[in-house]
Every structure is written in C-alpha cells, then in structure tokens.
Amino acid sequence: MILEGQFTIPAPQDRVWSAIWDIPTLASWVPGCTSAAQVDATTYRAHLEQQVGFLKAAFDLLLTVVETQEPLLIRLHGEGEDRKIRSNIQAEITVKLEPAPDGTLLGYHIDVSVLGRLGALGFPLIQRKAKEIEAEFARRARAGLAGG
C-alpha cells in the first residue's frame, strides 16, 4: 500500500535536513518512537509502538539508507517485526525536501507491506493511523524548529 503526503515546516531547508540526521531530534518527532540509534554509516535501529484499531503493535525496526541527495532527498529501506502479534512490516521510504515561501516543504512517499494480524486490519485503518502520525510528526517538527 502507498502512504504519501506533505507538509510545511517553518524553517530553512538546511536546518530541516540537519535535524533529520540528528537521531535524538528525529526520534522525538516520531509518535511512538521509544528508542533510536545509529548502527553504522547507513543503518539505524528504532523501536516504534502504535495502537492501530484494537491491536497494540511494537516493532523493532531496521532502517537502511539507500540514497541521499543533500539537502533534497533521502531513500530508506525499512523492515521490522512484532513477534507478539505476529506481524511484519517492510517499507521503501522516500523523503523529499523543497524550499517553500514559508519554510521547507517535506514530502514523503512510503510503499509499505504489512503482514500478519496488523495487515489483516486493512488499508483504510492503517492509512487513517498513518495520517494521525503524520499530523503529530508535523506538529512536533514545526515546534522543534520554530524560531530559528
């Protein structure tokens, strides 16, 4: 399934780019992210917990940077598993940054496969949850970069 959207952050593109690469900052913007760490130059681990419908999912994620074009584009491959609810997730993630009159436009495109019990909930429920996460991520990013 495809999840995509965009929002504006009221900060210059170089500040947004730098913040994305600061793992504690980025993790603080992601709702449900309880930990994140850099493993090596292109690999990151994160733990993400979300309530989706009646299921509480807790994924240990491995994210690999596939491509970067500073300060415009990041492509990632991500995968994770929640053994408790027997669900897996795989995603190809593209994040684009563009200058905008009022800051930086952040656009994303995620091609995600969700298998297991979580996947059985269906695309509309997962998409609705993704939009909630996007709205909170955007709120936190705007607050974190405001005034600079």
Predicted confidence (pLDDT) per residue in 65-99, tens digit: 999 999 999 999 999 999 999 999 999 999 999 99
Mean pLDDT of 3-31: 95
Terminal C-alpha separation, the chain = 36
For position 147, what pLDDT does the model report? Answer: 64
Residues ≥6 apart with Cβ < 8 Å to 82: 57, 58, 59, 60, 88, 116, 118
Task: Say how far apart CA 30 and CA 27 lie, in whole Å.
Answer: 5
Predicted confidence (pLDDT) per residue in 26-44, tens digit: 999 999 999 999 999 999 9
The pLDDT of residue 148 is above 70: no
For position 140, what pLDDT does the model report? Answer: 94
pLDDT confidence of 125, banded at 50, 70, 90?
confident
Task: Give all domains of the chain, ordered by start, each with its CATH number.
Answer: 2-145 (3.30.530.20)
Supply the pTM of this predicted model: 0.90
The pLDDT of residue 116 is above 80: yes
